């Protein structure tokens, strides 16, 4: 009888051990009759800590969550720095985001990607240990365009944005509810979305607004009292800043002199794609920038 009790207690202890820790999930949320896919990556310290920041990482046109995760290497940064990153997926055979006047299927079918991201944020905050005041958006190309639209329409949920290799192409008046901090990264060699504006050689088929104009508009929206000033200008990049904006926010614009239409410090998006800039590291810059800001 004594031996049986010992065995039984031992078996119970084994069954009560915690389940295996999982750090990456591929999931679907159904919105407006569409299955919207996303991949979420939890940092290495997720199960031992709390109060995590969330970065929404939006792939470029024709990309997907796995591709952007691999080429941006943002999950590696998430593990090192301790934040959660989610990679949502656009719509269409050639997945795109409806950033306003661009791009592809999402724009032509007027897909409500703002609603998708808004509901995704709600779901993730309820399911994971995320601080709702520490939610940020970044993206490359069409994904960067989408992050600008989110800044215009979801400023009550997104604390700051860090777009790369894009411009703002919203089709309606941008009316954020608060000043939105912006870190923009671009290359002088980007022929897909030229920083000086124009159609470029990409598939957008639109006249891309020049970045100086876009960021000057945001300086007005953010009520920045110190206009554009060059903080750094060396052989690798130029950094232009708009400072003393409402709620102690700022706008920073890194224009690299190497690379092309690619994620700085990452990997080429596909075979034959532009080589990423090595003058800056997008992941390091965006994380240091995001850490400065939090919604009340």
The tens digit of pLDDT for each residue in 62-114 reads 999 999 999 999 999 999 999 999 999 999 999 999 999 999 999 999 999 99
**SS3 state at 37:** strand
pTM: 0.92
Q: Which of 61, 17, 98, 82 lies closest to 203 in space, CA to CA?
A: 61
The reported pLDDT for the residue numbered 10 is 37
Q: Can you tell me the distance from the alpha carbon of 67 to that of 94, in angstroms, rounded to the nearest whole number?
A: 13
Question: pLDDT band at residue 15, thresholds of 50, 70 and 90?
Answer: very low
Q: What is the mean pLDDT of the chain?
A: 92
Question: What domains appear along the chain, each with residue ranges and CATH number?
Answer: 23-290 (3.40.50.1820)
Query: pLDDT class for 200, splitting at 50, 70, 90?
Result: confident
Distance CA 148, CA 151 (A): 5
pLDDT at 19: 66
3 state DSSP class of 294: coil
**Residue 272 predicted with pLDDT over 90:** no
Say if residues 37 and 86 touch (Cβ distance below 8 Å).
no
pLDDT at position 28 over 80: yes
């Amino acid at each position: 009888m004594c031996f049986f009790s010992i065995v039984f207690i031992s078996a119970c202890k084994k069954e009560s051990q915690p389940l295996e820790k999982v750090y990456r999930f591929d999931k679907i949320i159904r919105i407006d009759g569409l299955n919207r896919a996303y991949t979420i990556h939890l940092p290495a310290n997720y199960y031992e800590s709390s109060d995590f920041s969330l970065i929404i990482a939006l792939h470029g046109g024709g990309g997907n969550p796995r591709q952007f995760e691999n080429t941006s290497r943002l999950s590696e940064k998430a593990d090192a720095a301790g934040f959660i990153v989610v990679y949502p997926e656009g719509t269409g055979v050639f997945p795109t985001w409806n950033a306003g006047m661009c791009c592809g299927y999402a724009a032509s079918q007027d897909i409500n990607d703002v609603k998708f991201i808004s509901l995704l944020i709600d779901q993730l905050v309820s399911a994971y240990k995320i601080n709702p005041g520490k939610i940020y958006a970044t993206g490359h190309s069409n994904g960067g365009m989408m992050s600008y639209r989110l800044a215009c329409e979801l400023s009550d949920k997104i604390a700051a944005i860090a777009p790369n290799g894009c411009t703002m192409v919203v089709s309606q008046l941008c009316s954020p509810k608060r000043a939105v901090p912006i870190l923009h990264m671009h290359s002088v060699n980007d022929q897909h979305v030229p920083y000086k504006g124009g159609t470029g050689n990409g598939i957008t088929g639109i006249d891309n607004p020049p970045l100086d104009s876009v960021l000057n508009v945001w300086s007005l929206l953010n009520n920045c009292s110190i206009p554009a000033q060059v903080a750094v200008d060396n052989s690798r990049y130029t950094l232009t800043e708009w400072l003393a904006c409402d709620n102690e926010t700022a706008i920073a614009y890194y224009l690299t002199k190497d690379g092309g239409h690619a994620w700085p410090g990452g990997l080429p998006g596909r075979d034959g794609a532009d080589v990423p800039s090595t003058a800056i590291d997008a992941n390091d810059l965006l994380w240091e920038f995001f850490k400065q800001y939090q919604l009340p």
